[in-house]
A and B are shown apart, each in its own frame.
Chain A
Amino acid sequence: MQQVAETIGLWGRTALFRGWFRAWLGLAVLLAGISLRAATFTATLDRDAIQVGENATLTLKFDDGKPKSMPALPSIANLQISPQGSFQNYTIDNGRSSSSYTYTYAVIPAQPGDYTIPTLGAIVDGKVLTSQPLKLKVVKAGATDTAGGGDQLAFLKLFVPKKEVYLGEICGVQLQLFIRDGVANAEGILQSFEQLANNSSPLKVEGCNILKTGYAQRRQVQAGNGNYTVATLVTAISPAKTGPITIDSINATLTLQLPTGGRRRDAFDPFGMFQQYDERRVPIAAEAQKITSLAVPKENAPANFNGAVGSFTLTVSAGPTNVATGDPITVKVQLTGRGALEALSLPDQPAWHDFKTYPPTAKIETTDPLGIQGTKIFEQVIVPQSADIHELPPISFSYFDSDKKAYQTLTQPAIPLVVRPGGVTVQPSVAAVGRPTQDAPPLTKDIVSIKQRFGAPASTAGPWLRQPVFLTMQGIPVLALVGAIVWRRRTDSFAANPRLRRQRQVAQTVRTGLSDLRKFAADKKSDDFFATLFHLLQEQLGERLNVPASSITEAVIEEQLEPRGVPAETLNALHELFQSHNLARYAPVTSGQELAALIPKLEAVLKGVQELKS
């Protein structure tokens, strides 16, 4: 252990290793996230009602996980379950990989009756997953089978698993097409028949809602002396009224192709590829079936029963469970089982009076093609209004079990909550129920009620992006940037050019010096006046001649200015100014006007010198 600690300490001291450690840690978390995707296990039957002599297919499917061992198949009297096969599916969709393992079994009944395949358990990724119990109704082989079998090439049959159906219950009616072996175009006819599932249902039933149609796996049966292939369309129907309901008979005519018998082998067609057929038009008909629709009993109906019929289980979870008042909690309610999943709704929970509730959202995950078996998941946001709340009260759901012909109530225990006092949180107002009038059809659920304040009026000017003033304003930072870049270039250029810098400094000195001269002239300060005048001449001449200002004397006029072609007027004026400065040392000028008169002369001289090329 100590060695490990030392090793980790060494890693911690090395920055390189620290970086690698973080990268590997991230990768490990990512991989863990991928592998932690929850595995699921579902068991389904392709049909919920069959006849003796037929078999149903039981499918066990494992998504995102491989079972360590297969579930132990139950031993059910008069029901044989034998393995058929298995396959594995691996898909990558939008970067998300998923895998599934599917195992199929043939379920063969020996006697009519109601069978239940109990909950199956399998170990996947170290966890025990269980499936829902499945029900299978097995009835006697109908007389029509034998009547229809034997000599008939094809026949049609309506099969209703239950003769009594409750309002709100869903019943799967089977339309079976039998075609005897040997019919050449059997495959095409069976495919066309199964494709009816993609269109509207061929069933005609008054007083029933026809929900969805799918097709079951084909099977082989023996009827009479013939072997038949059977295609089955299953249509989910739900009664809309009580009383007798008739599923109308169905008539059709098939054109069957039968190989011509006793035909000699043709020398030009040794393989029989151009074999000829006799076409025979065969009328087929399925007899009408009658069922009785019953209302669910009013006696013993639980208070929270809201019309659900079928067989369900209830699972509830909530999170987060440690919140402040006003914080939302999401309650997830899962109803799994068989029934009208679309119509399922959460019953009112009167015990939630201390919570503000929002309308729940719902989604359905079905496990059969008819969409009547699966899970409906409700997510409801609730907001605790008081810090005195310590639990989410128990949630209950009641339904009518049509097989047991009795009401069942499922209840999940209370979920502990920690609710802290929180700040004032403005929550949306919820669900003031409006009374529907005659011209407003009543709606089953409610919406959040109206707002009482008009609020801030919306701008009529349209989006800012369409307003020229706004778009123009966006030029400001660009102009600032351009200005800063130009300024920076000029500053850098100025810093790299000492002569230019001196030129500007001298220009500034001359400007302030001339101002001082006017002031000295007005104050009759002769000494200061001439000292400044001489200083300005030195600075300007020094800058133009590129020599130190202190080295400038009257002698530069002849030595440097004359050779450069400075006009004589300027040179004379310079002489005068220098001499005035010299004279003033001994005889100061006391007249302000005289001093002031020298300023224009100086300005003219400085201007002349400034024009001198450096």
Chain B
Amino acid sequence: MTTSYAKSRPMISTPAWAAVFMLLLLGCLTFTARAATDAGFDAANKLYEQGKFTEAAAAYETLAATGPVSAALYFNLGNAQFKSGHLGQAIHAYEQARQLSPRDPDIQTNLRFARGQIQGPTSATSRWQNWLGSLTVNEWTLLLVAAFWISVLSLAAMQWRPALKSSLRLPALAGGLATVVFGICLGLLWSAQAAPRLIVNTADASVRSGPLDEAKAVFTAHDGAELAIVDTKDDWVQVTASQHTGWLKRNQGLVLPR
């Protein structure tokens, strides 16, 4: 007669325990970070409500630089900058908020309102750009991919079940057409967003005929003016707006996209 001693084995192996521990640790860290972000956000909101707009703007800036960002954070930053009289920085923040949440009516309202305060030459976005910008790049991508998948999988299903050809022809065709249309829209939005812009953040910036301090001033761009960047040289950027073109020091504006 033999007696066997079965070695007691844990129900979950060591690597599994390690994975669970790491997940829990990650969850705790995320929760802690989110709690810290919320606390910082609330503190900055309090400063804003107290009328300390400059301090609130600094607090929002710190949050944006050190932690996760959101459309609300950039929106509030834009409000604080606007109330501090920094129109260019406010528009810059609103633009970043709009890129994250393009259909938020609050963001649209404040961005439009801030743009209404701009004096002098500025680049206005066209109607089709506004329309394309009503969806984010990822949303356009999702539409494109959905149409692409519908089209290609319909074609695959037609190969798999020829009997379904007549009923699958429409989704395949419509999906293909939608793929082309969404692809064009995505391409246009991508190129429009990739085109760098400079938002003036000083009261009066002299735009000169060349990239030199001694060059003749062509026109004056005021705080908040949005100028399309054409070229760059050293610390200067060549900008254009409302049929005016000239050179501006890079530190007189904020560049979009970052």
Interface residues of A (CB under 8 A from B): 358-359, 361, 427-429, 434-437, 439-441, 443, 445, 447-458, 460, 463-465, 474, 477-478, 480-481, 483-485, 487-488
A447 near B68 with CB under 8 A, answer: no
Residues of chain B contacted by A448 (CB below 8 angstroms):
79, 106, 109-110
Cβ of B247 within 8 Å of any chain A Cβ, yes or no, is no
Within 12-58 of B, Cβ neighbours of A (below 8 Å) are at 34, 37-38, 41, 45, 48-49, 51-54
**9 A-B pairs with C-beta separation under 8 A:** A428-B104, A440-B84, A451-B72, A457-B70, A474-B145, A474-B148, A477-B152, A480-B156, A484-B159
Residues of chain B contacted by A449 (CB below 8 angstroms):
79
B83 near A436 with CB under 8 A, answer: yes
Using CB atoms, name the residue of chain A closest to B71: A455
B160 near A450 with CB under 8 A, answer: no
Interface centre among B73, B105, B155, B186 (most CB of A within 10 A): B105
Instruction: Output the least CB separation between B31 and chain A (Å).
Output: 13
Using CB atoms, name the residue of chain A closest to B82: A447
Supplied contacts A454-B70, A458-B70, 5 more A-B pairs, CB within 8 Å: A434-B49, A437-B52, A443-B117, A450-B80, A457-B69
Partner of B79, one of A447, A455, A483: A447
Instruction: Output the least CB separation between B168 and chain A (Å).
Output: 12
Partner of A437, one of B53, B138, B159, B190: B53
User: A480 CA to B138 CA in the complex, in Å?
Assistant: 24
Residues of chain A contacted by B68 (CB below 8 angstroms):
457-458, 460
User: A450 CA to B34 CA in the complex, in Å?
Assistant: 19
Q: A436-B51, A449-B79 are in contact. Are A455 and B72 (CB under 8 A)?
A: yes
Residues of chain A contacted by B76 (CB below 8 angstroms):
450-451
Partner of B149, one of A434, A477, A487: A477
B159 near A458 with CB under 8 A, answer: no
Instruction: Output the least CB separation between B38 and chain A (Å).
Output: 6
B109 near A478 with CB under 8 A, answer: no
Cβ of B141 within 8 Å of any chain A Cβ, yes or no, is yes
A428 near B106 with CB under 8 A, answer: yes
Using CB atoms, name the residue of chain B closest to A481: B156
A485 near B159 with CB under 8 A, answer: yes
Q: Enumerate the 10 nearest inter-chain pairs by beta-carbon distance, A residue then B residue, closest first.
A: A457-B68, A484-B159, A477-B152, A451-B72, A484-B156, A428-B106, A455-B72, A435-B51, A450-B76, A428-B105
Cβ of B85 within 8 Å of any chain A Cβ, yes or no, is yes
Q: How big is chain B's contact interface, by range? A: 35 or more
User: A478 CA to B156 CA in the complex, in Å?
Assistant: 9
B38 near A481 with CB under 8 A, answer: no
Residues of chain B contacted by A464 (CB below 8 angstroms):
138, 141-142
Instruction: Output the least CB separation between B102 and chain A (Å).
Output: 13
Q: A437-B52, A448-B109 are in contact. Are A454 and B79 (CB under 8 A)?
A: no
Residues of chain B contacted by A358 (CB below 8 angstroms):
109
Interface residues of B (CB under 8 A from A): 34, 37-38, 41, 45, 48-49, 51-54, 68-73, 75-76, 79-80, 82-85, 100, 104-106, 109-110, 112-114, 116-117, 137-138, 141-142, 145, 148-149, 152-153, 155-157, 159-160, 162, 186, 190
Residues of chain A contacted by B104 (CB below 8 angstroms):
428
A447 near B113 with CB under 8 A, answer: yes
B100 near A458 with CB under 8 A, answer: yes
User: A435 CA to B109 CA in the complex, in Å?
Assistant: 20
User: A524 CA to B162 CA in the complex, in Å?
Assistant: 49
B75 near A440 with CB under 8 A, answer: no
B72 near A453 with CB under 8 A, answer: yes
Using CB atoms, name the residue of chain B closest to A477: B152
Instruction: Output the least CB separation between B185 and chain A (Å).
Output: 13
User: A465 CA to B140 CA in the complex, in Å?
Assistant: 10
A465 near B141 with CB under 8 A, answer: yes
Residues of chain B contacted by A437 (CB below 8 angstroms):
51-54
Residues of chain A contacted by B117 (CB below 8 angstroms):
443
Instruction: Output the least CB separation between B196 and chain A (Å).
Output: 16
Residues of chain B contacted by A477 (CB below 8 angstroms):
148-149, 152-153, 156
Instruction: Output the least CB separation between B108 and chain A (Å).
Output: 9
User: A443 CA to B87 CA in the complex, in Å?
Assistant: 11
User: A481 CA to B151 CA in the complex, in Å?
Assistant: 10
Residues of chain A contacted by B83 (CB below 8 angstroms):
434, 436, 440, 443, 447
Residues of chain B contacted by A463 (CB below 8 angstroms):
137-138, 141
Partner of A434, one of B34, B48, B106, B116: B48
Residues of chain A contacted by B84 (CB below 8 angstroms):
439-440
Instruction: Output the least CB separation between A195 and chain B (Å).
Output: 18
B70 near A450 with CB under 8 A, answer: no
Instruction: Output the least CB separation between B123 and chain A (Å).
Output: 19
Residues of chain A contacted by B71 (CB below 8 angstroms):
455, 458
User: A450 CA to B79 CA in the complex, in Å?
Assistant: 7
A450 near B82 with CB under 8 A, answer: no
Using CB atoms, name the residue of chain B closest to A438: B51
User: A487 CA to B52 CA in the complex, in Å?
Assistant: 70
Using CB atoms, name the residue of chain B closest to A445: B113
Partner of A454, one of B72, B85, B138: B72
User: A64 CA to B34 CA in the complex, in Å?
Assistant: 61
